[in-house]
Structure 1
Amino acid sequence: MPVTIETKTAARIAELLDLFAELPSTPPVLTDEARNHAVTLLDRIDEEGEERTRRPDTAR
């Protein structure tokens, strides 16, 4: 079931996912699929012109 959230909330979630992706761990904290979802979410937020606090390292 789709959920609607505010753009700022989505941005914060994606930024947190990106931070988790940078944590050194074995196995990785996030799967490649989760990283890709975070990047997609951040790209959509960029399209809407929402400001973010940081630029993700995982961005393509």
Structure 2
Amino acid sequence: FLRRLKVGAGTTTGPTSYEVKRILKAFVDAQWLADFNDRLAAYQAQFTENIDSAGEVSDE
């Protein structure tokens, strides 16, 4: 899914650059990222609720 880009002419230092192949570009769009953000917020809320109610993380 990743391809390392060649170092440009005249540049020998700096971080390595990568290109994301199109299969991921087509899959990950703005709507997918928004949905993913919503799921992460729900997981965080559940985790925080478990800590608040028990004082520690439960096994649920």
The answer to which structure, 1 or 2, has the higher relative contact order (CA under 8 A, 6+ apart) is 1
TM-score, normalising length from structure 1? 0.37
TM-score, normalising length from structure 2? 0.37
Greater Rg over alpha carbons, structure: 2
Q: Which protein has the bigger strand share?
A: 2
